[in-house]
Structure 1
Amino acid sequence: MKKILLPTDFSDNAFNAIEYALQLFEKEECTFYLLNVYTPIVYDTEYIGYSSINPGLDEIYKNNSAVGLQKLEKKIKQTFSNKLHHFKQISSFNLLTDEINEQVENEHIDLIIMGTQGATGAKEVLFGSTTIRVIHRAKIPVLAIPSDYVFKGIQEILFPTDYEIDYNTSQLRWLNYLSTKENSALHVIHASEKDFLSSEQKKKKAQLEEKLESKNHKFKIVEGNNIPKLIYEYEKKNAIDLLAMVNNKHSFFENLFFKQVIDEIGFHTKVPFLVIPSQS
């Protein structure tokens, strides 16, 4: 049985991600953990001082969280009645990233699925700061669902790589699962200004191909150095349903997410984004 963590702030975007998860695993027995953290947005000395003389404030946050989760589960069961799906509610006074890592460890969570912007996120920003923090700190794969994205199956998967990673089986678990689930086409692309691979890259490519379970995959070199733009253009041209990448902090992923250009891919990527942690 798969264990899927679904963080929610009760926004429409969060529920859209939940809908995606329920449809993705429609035919599989799963336990979905509905997580809401009720840490005040501004948790500082002012809040601490105010709450100390108004002890009921904590209870209000706690009650709102618990009631919200109850309503959410009821809505889910009314909209998606599925005997294979089980739910657990988690309400916690904690920072989201800390609570996620605690639940991952304590409950042996397999995958995190969440929306890319919260209730207060600007519509033009695809990846909000909360999603980015979770992606940076999560110890298991995170599947981020863009706002208003409607699930329509996964027929085309895009997997960019620099062939600098010694991929292991556990890293490729979800990529293999999703690509074989519906016999999806797996596009493995490498961005380069020159149309060739070094001997070491060729070795890593061969190792990767051995570990891919999909029989419907192809390798391609895309010329250029603006990786976010190349990904965006490839997505549109090939009707990609899912973008998957490995968070290799020492190489490829670092060039995308650990610099000021992080918003480039945030603005351009309009499909669900599976981020796989590095080996470390």
Structure 2
Amino acid sequence: MKTLIVTLTAARICFAFNLANGQTAPVKVSGQVMDNNKSPIDGATVLLLTAKDSALVKTALSNPDGSFVFANIKSGSYRIRVTYIGFHDYRSALFNVGDNAVVLPAITINTTSKALKQVEIVAQKPFIEQKIDRTIVNVGASISNTGATALEALEKAPGVTVDENGQISFKGKSGVMIMIDDKPTYLSGADLANYLKAMPASQLDQIELMSNPPAKYDASGNAGAINIKTKKSKARGFNGSVAASAGKAVYWRTLESVNLNYHTGKINLFGLAGYGGQNNYRRLDVSRTYRMQPTTLPHLTPN
């Protein structure tokens, strides 16, 4: 009799453990940007940086109500940097990301009150440009893209998310059209991810993010379009370049590419070949605490 009760109790506990879901929900970091008068700021550039070396993790643009959200953020220590024309740059204190969503205190940026004595024109492009119908990311304007792949540079763009399988979504919507130099790629998720992993970020000029693409792109669905523009040499004749990079974290990774260009008159032929080799490493620690409600087993009467 006692053996039967113990067996049934153990079976109930094992069944409860098997029903538990081992995956954790993605962690979000959110906040709001305001000016001196506590009015929300639309279109401010918000950068998520690592605490260790201030490396760029993700970018976002504040919404009309001043809010911003970073999704799928790994646990660790971070800080926020906010830039906006006519305002002083803002750098937050360090904060930690764990298992729960993080809501940052309201960020207030102050206007610049100094009078300009002269105007100096600098030829450096900003990292993010906000246009009427699109957001433009100037890849070369961020030093964090040095030695990175095109997929890693794309992942840092505002509103873009790349999951562990290489699937690309834009503003929470999957099925986004990916174009290279205004031409659709027509590649599947895995093939497209491998293609972008083999392309060095140094070969990219701009990334255009369009939630409502113009009619000429003929975007299917309502997920938007992403246009990746590569660099093309304007020098006449035949020219090219060879690039290679290597890095090591847990494992080594290498990235090699060959860039060839022929330009004469109105003809410009451009080709790029790249190869990337890397081994991914992932460690997942999951802790679960279960509360079992007291239950009463049915009374068993021996025959």
On whether the aligned pair clears a TM of 0.5, the verdict is no
Higher relative contact order (CA 8 A, sep 6+): 1
Relative to the length of structure 1, the TM-score reads 0.29
Is the helix fraction higher in 1 or 2?
1
Bigger-Rg structure (1/2): 2
Is the strand fraction higher in 1 or 2?
2
Relative to the length of structure 2, the TM-score reads 0.27
